[in-house]
Amino acid sequence: MKNNLLNITCFFCLLLFNQCGKESPSTQEERTETPEEIDISSISTDPWWDDAVFYEIFVRSFYDSDGDGIGDLRGIIEKLDYLNDGNPNTTNDLGVTGLWLMPIFPSPSYHGYDVTDYRDINPDYGTMADFRALVEAAHARGIKVIIDFVGNHTSDQHPWFQSSAANTAKRDWYLWNTFKPDYRGPWGQEVWHERNNNYYYGIFWGGMPDLNYNTPAVTNEIKEIVRYWYNDIGVDGFRIDAVKHWIEAGSQQENTTATLSWWRNFFAFQKEISPRLMTVGEAWTSTRNIAPYSDHRLDYCFEFDLSYAIIDAVNNQNASGLSSKLNEIVATYEAGQYGSFLTNHDQDRSFNRFGLNIPKAKLAASILLSLPGVPYLYYGEEIGMTGQKPDENIRKPMQWSADPQAGFTTGQAWQAPSSNFASFNVADQLTDEGSLLSHYKKWIQMRNAIGQLRTGEITMVNSSASSVFSFLRKTNNEAQSYLVVHNLAQARNDLPISLGSSALAEGSYALFDVLSNTSIGQLNVGPNGAIQGTAEEVPLEAFGSYVLRLDAQ
């Protein structure tokens, strides 16, 4: 509770702010406004993303079309046939149906997460005409395109901040104080930065000042930018950075009531533009704290806990933690409304997390692509690219071949490729049926072909073996169910499974292995859909997986 002296101080600070546009930390907390939430019960949405498999691209590192050493938009166009050639009858392409492009706006940094212009293209990557051509070419192949939207903060070189720092028209577009508040950020970092004898707020660093969403003009401008990219340019949605930090309340710097209210109102605006406009949020926190952002505030968010659980299960050869986390997730979110992934551009690459073990990497891919949710692959994950912090080392050039510069450029790459490119590259793995790339292709194509794997309900199937991770996938409008079994052990296993009840009808079912296109045994289902026993004729290979169609006999 504030004492009387502090209240008097805050009063005079408020008077000072009214005169010169500078505010104290206490005043900032008092001025944090909570928008009145609107009724969203009648808002409709068209979740096309339920059927998508996304591929995250760092444009700078994907493919260089002009030899300047920097990846570009035209380079992505040249490689679209690798991602999805648009012909469902071919099997040479990876089969992804969505692209997430990391920031493409002008920026003074290599990564682009400090924007200087929200309505233009980073000249390193090309022009707006190039981007329009990419969207058109992707759409022609059935590929959706979403872009990274960094709206929590801008670059300190953005004209908005330059105006604000000069104490002109946009002073209240950012957060300012006349003295430095005595609190730090949630990771112990400095969040108040000096400029012109005043202090501005930037939760990540001084080069990224946070926008002030208590100022209506800021909200209005961001909305118009979103409308521009969807209506005028043709993107299909946005990956939105740092959604939990949108509006601060003094020293409370994440998950504030005002932040949640802002997103609820934005959701109504978003769906007014189009029910098909998609937003996926980055709220890097626990399942419990992510859930409110997925509750008609954004369409869904990335599920970080699930990514950790998949990697831990594979490395520990134990399914218990993954099963427990999946049960929590299913109980928390609307069915399938979360983004699933192994690692992304802010984390050590998954191949490193698996100790460069190819069978483990294949198993993790199988798990990811057989679970509910909207799966995302980080570029190069499908070929075993390596990389560990710092960030530049996990964003290196894509490894297209064993040629110099990994086939990424005819010039000198902006950063040297990872050292394993001669052995782990697209050209070599495309012709190797046993490669990690071929494994990803098979599982993506299978997911694309089987609706139950994309949108079916999931029922966990128990096992007496802690290394067996198994579940049923079934949709209400499809008669057939699929039994998915993953062996997390590095040794062969039988199929010991049990299930107290399910939606399966009592009877005997032939087990058809979708991957090998062969019948491999049968399963008996008792009253109430119960399953009990060991299907000894279905051996599980080390780190192996089955997708078994249940055909009633």
User: What is the tens place of the pLDDT at every residue in 99-114?
Assistant: 999 999 999 999 999 9
Give me the mean pLDDT over the 35-41 stretch.
Answer: 71
Under a CB-based contact definition with an 8 Å cutoff, are residues 407 and 400 in contact? Answer: yes
For 272, residues 6+ apart whose C-beta sits below 8 A from its C-beta are: none
What residues are annotated to the active site? 241, 282
pLDDT tens digits along 342-352 = 999 999 999 99
Q: 457-461 and 496-499 as β-strands: parallel, antiparallel, unpaired?
A: unpaired
Average pLDDT over residues 213-218: 97
The span from the CA of 60 to the CA of 45, in Å, is 33
* Per-residue pLDDT at 16 exceeds 80: no
Q: Using alpha carbons only, what angle is made at residue 163 by residues 158 and 166, rounded to the nearest 5 degrees?
A: 125
The confidence score (pLDDT) of residue 257 equals 96
Q: What is the model's pLDDT at position 35? A: 56
Residues with Cβ < 8 Å from 19, sequence gap 6 or more?
none
Most confident segment among 32-46, 243-257, 510-524: 243-257
Question: Kind of pairing, strands 545-552 and 481-487?
Answer: antiparallel
Q: How far apart are CA 282 and CA 225, in angstroms?
A: 19
Q: Does position 494 have pLDDT exceeding 50, yes or no?
A: yes
For residue range 267-304, list pLDDT tens digits in order. 999 999 999 999 999 999 999 999 999 999 999 999 99
* pLDDT band at residue 42 using 50, 70 and 90 as cut-offs: confident
Answer with the residue of higher pLDDT: 501 or 315: 315
The mean pLDDT value for 155-174 works out to 96
> What value does the mean pLDDT take over residues 92-100?
97
The C-alpha angle 396, 397, 402, rounded to 5 degrees, equals 125
Is 52-150+341-449 a domain of CATH 3.20.20.80? yes
pLDDT band at residue 258 using 50, 70 and 90 as cut-offs? very high
Nearest to 280 by CA among 104, 458, 128, 52: 52
Class of the CATH-defined domain 21-47+156-300: alpha beta
| Residue spans in the chain of domains classed CATH 2.60.40.1180 | 456-552
CA distances from 514 to 107, 111, 518, 537 (A): 47, 41, 7, 16
How does DSSP classify residue 341?
-
Task: State residue 37's pLDDT score.
Answer: 67
Q: CA-CA distance, 235 to 229, in Å (whole number)?
A: 6
User: Residue 238: in which H helix or E strand, if any?
Assistant: strand 237-240
The tokens 């509770």 sit on which residue?
A: 1
Tokens of 354: 């698996």
pLDDT score for 429: 98
Q: What is the pLDDT, as a whole number, of residue 533?
A: 64
Residues belonging to the chain: 553
DSSP state letter for 106: -
- For residues 70-97, average pLDDT: 96
pLDDT band at 534 (very low <50, low <70, confident <90, very high): low
Every domain of the chain with CATH number 3.90.400.10 lies at: 21-47+156-300
Look up residue 369 and give its two tokens: 């692509």
Alpha-carbon gap, residue 132 to 353, rounded angstroms: 37
The SS3 assignment for 379 reads coil
pLDDT band for position 24 (cuts 50, 70, 90): very low
Which amino acid would we find at residue 326? L
34 or 240, higher pLDDT: 240
Taking a C-beta distance cutoff of 8 angstroms, is the pair 434, 98 a contact?
A: no
- Predicted confidence (pLDDT) per residue in 300-342, tens digit: 999 999 999 999 999 999 999 999 999 999 999 999 999 999 9
The segment(s) of the chain belonging to CATH 3.20.20.80 are: 52-150+341-449
Kindly tell me the burial class for residue 122, based on how many C-beta atoms sit within 10 Å of its own C-beta (0-12, 13-18, 19 or more). Answer: buried
Q: How confident is the model at residue 36 (pLDDT cuts 50, 70, 90)?
A: low
> By CB neighbour count within 10 A (0-12 exposed, 13-18 middle, 19+ buried), where does 182 fall?
exposed
Helix spans in 317-435 (H)? 320-332, 350-353, 358-370, 426-430
Residue range 456-552, CATH number: 2.60.40.1180
